[in-house]
Amino acid sequence: MSTLKNSTNSRKAIGILLSEASAPIRWRVELEILEREPKTVSKDELLAYPRVRENLDYLTGETDFNSIHGSTERAFENACGILYDMGVRSGAKELDERIKPYLDFLEALDDDTDDRYLHTSFLGREFSASLIAGSVSALGYNGHPAVRKHVEARLERLSEFGPGSTPRPFMRLTRPATRRCGG
């Protein structure tokens, strides 16, 4: 155990969290701070927590752009972020079932096309695939072959922006003429 976990104040704070905090906080304290399997909360209790339930329900399997990306809490990327914050990870049966359509979508892109689609328009399949692959990676699906392929493609694309490189643009960027205020 680290010094932080052994300090009197830390032990008191951890004790309070384990006795009084919500299921997601207790789950994460035990897994991430105490580095042990949770004893004060079960996986079923975590998955039954209202905010977890709500966000699991947002994972509808829809893969159109507006379902994947957006500022609403119902958007796939946001629901995955909240589930991550709540401590939900791959291996939870219900999460695995709800993530499967998104993994199937990534696999279908691989089966349907070759690598050329990976560098298509910014708001096209490349962007959706990036959002899905990044979101499910955080939840623990980074070992899935289709996820790995898409993450590696994104990293390769980003490497084009290194020193001395001239990356291919996603789309033609034009700059509107600027006007001066007052003249």
Output the six-digit token pair for 149.
């392929």
pLDDT at 2 over 70: no
List for the chain the helix, strand, coil content (%; round to 5): 60, 0, 40
Of residues 28 and 108, the one with the higher pLDDT is 28
Of residues 62 and 170, the one with the higher pLDDT is 62
pLDDT cut 90: percent of the chain above it: 63
Q: What is the mean pLDDT of the chain?
A: 84
pLDDT at 175 over 90: no
Summarize pLDDT for 14-56 with one digit per residue, the tens.
999 999 999 999 999 999 999 999 999 999 999 999 999 999 9
First to last CA, the chain: 66
Q: Are 80 and 38 in contact (CB under 8 A)?
A: no
Nearest to 51 by CA among 96, 87, 75: 87
Give residue 176's Cα distance to chain centre.
Answer: 35
Summarize pLDDT for 118-160 with one digit per residue, the tens.
444 555 677 888 899 999 999 999 999 999 998 888 888 778 7
User: Cα separation of 22 and 53, whole Å?
Assistant: 14
Q: Are 4 and 14 in contact (CB under 8 A)?
A: no
pLDDT at 179 over 50: no
Nearest to 149 by CA among 110, 96, 105: 110
Q: Are 128 and 69 in contact (CB under 8 A)?
A: yes
Average pLDDT value for residue range 97-117: 78
User: Cα separation of 129 and 49, whole Å?
Assistant: 29
pLDDT at 178 over 70: no
Cβ atoms within 10 A of the Cβ of 5, count?
A: 12
SS (H, E, C) 49-100: CHHHHHHHHCCCCCCCHHHHCCCCCCCHHHHHHHHHHHCCCCCCHHHHHHHH
- φ, ψ for residue 124 (rounded to 5)? -90, -150
pLDDT at 109 over 60: yes
